[in-house]
Amino acid sequence: MKKVLKWILIVVIGFFVIGVIIEATKTPEQKAADAAARDQRVAEQYEAEQEDAAAESLTRPQKNAVRSAKQYLSMSGFSRDGLIHQLSSEYGEGYSVADATFAVDSLSTDWNQAAARSAENYLKMSGFSCKGLIKQLSSSAGDKYTVSQATYGAQQAGACN
């Protein structure tokens, strides 16, 4: 029994020594990369914990509205107002305007990128001039982006080149 424990102790010490040697031979760049990766993992874990804590305080309709908003954004580009309208419309999801607004505002969405995605979709379906696409994207009867977001989207999609 003592021989087995002795060998186990030798193996553990051996692994420890190998680990120390490997760590000592790392370049400063490798150490910085390891630290950055470790910091990234900690930040991601913190964000996940914050999301879980926030989700626990939501009502069931708010949780569902958040899930629906994420699904809509994963499928297509939506403006903030357009997504709220889609979530709260009787022809859409039927959430209350308050729950729809809460859901949309709880997401960290880049509305400029959403406008660019919408603009690209329009250009795939039909030809638009730069001004026509901006008008479509920013119209209250259209996508309801701000003029600034619509302009960004049209430019990124290549309609203004």
Domain extent listing, the chain = 59-108, 110-161
- Round the average pLDDT of the chain to a whole number and report it: 86
Q: What is the identity of the amino acid at 15?
A: F
Residue 17: other Cβ atoms inside 10 A: 10
Rounded CA-CA distance 154/102 in Å is 28
Rounded CA-CA distance 125/114 in Å is 17
pLDDT of res. 136: 92
Give the class (CATH, top level) of 110-161.
mainly alpha
pLDDT of res. 57: 79
Question: pLDDT digit string (tens) for 63-111?
Answer: 999 999 999 998 888 999 999 999 998 888 899 999 999 999 999 999 9
Rounded CA-CA distance 100/86 in Å is 9
Global pTM? Answer: 0.61
135 has pLDDT over 90: yes
Q: Residue 45 is inside which H or E element, if any? A: helix 28-56
pLDDT of res. 51: 61
